[in-house]
Amino acid sequence: MSNNRAALRYAKAVLSLSQEQNSAEETYSKMQLISSTIKGSEELQTVLSSSIIKSDVKKSALLAIFENQINDLSKNLIDLLITNKRLADFDTVAKQYIKLFDEVSGKQDAVVTTAVPLSDTLKKEVLAKVKELTGKEAILENKVDAAIIGGFILRVGDIQYDASISNKLNVLKREFNA
């Protein structure tokens, strides 16, 4: 199991160091690559979390996978995580870095759940509305859930706006039962 608090501390340290070296944006793209690669490979997840596989084998595997794709800061992070026996948290550190960088850059996550995938035009409209409401840029994730029947559920930070048909039906059901 991953330790989020420790991962957050590593991510903060990497962000601070990358800002000092004026490579925060580059490191951001590398952390996105690392996170998506680890997320997309169950074998890599198993290797990183295995206590049987030696650290030098794990390091060699990571360097081979990310050969010429990650910067020195990311390579140093691998070494540090190996030294502190936290290489299993590599993906969590990358995700925390991405989250911290987005916060520093004034971006926030927005999740819109719809019954069908959003078109590009609708995505742009939702992003514009989120920026109008919050004053911040948003990174939009579209989740598809046929159970909401129609409409949408928009979640930005701690705020949720439910304009789904299933929610409206539930409200009517409660009113009739009351």
Confidence at residue 16, expressed as pLDDT on a 0 to 100 scale = 95
Confidence at residue 1, expressed as pLDDT on a 0 to 100 scale = 42
- The pTM assigned to this predicted structure is 0.73
Asked whether residue 8 falls in the same domain as residue 91, the answer is yes
As for how many domains the chain has, the answer is 2
User: What is the rounded average pLDDT of the residues 3-30?
Assistant: 93
Distances (CA, A) of 128 to 120, 124, 139, 142: 12, 6, 11, 15
Asked whether residue 20 falls in the same domain as residue 68, the answer is yes
Percentage of the chain modeled with pLDDT above 90: 75
Q: Is it the case that residue 158 has pLDDT exceeding 60?
A: yes
Give the whole-angstrom CA distance, residue 162 versus residue 159.
10
Q: Which amino acid is at 105?
A: S
- CA angle 163-153-141, nearest 5°? 150
CATH number of the domain where residue 34 is located: 1.10.520.20
- Expressed as residue numbers, the domain containing 148 is 106-177
Long-range contacts of 161-170 (CB under 8 A, 24+ apart): 164/113, 164/115, 165/115
Going by their DSSP bridges, the two strands 159-164 and 151-156 should be labelled as antiparallel
User: What is the rounded average pLDDT of the residues 66-91?
Assistant: 93
> Of 103, 129, 163, which closes a domain?
103
Asked whether residue 38 falls in the same domain as residue 91, the answer is yes
Asked whether residue 92 falls in the same domain as residue 29, the answer is yes
Q: Is it the case that residue 3 has pLDDT exceeding 80?
A: no
> Of 59, 78, 103, which closes a domain?
103
Per-residue tokens: 66:
């990310």
> Of 80, 103, 126, which closes a domain?
103
Per-residue model confidence as pLDDT tens digits over 44-72:
999 999 999 999 999 999 999 998 889 99
Per-residue model confidence as pLDDT tens digits over 21-36:
999 999 999 999 999 9
Would you place residue 109 in the very low, low, confident or very high pLDDT band (cuts 50, 70, 90)? confident
Count of residues in the chain: 178
Asked whether residue 81 falls in the same domain as residue 167, the answer is no
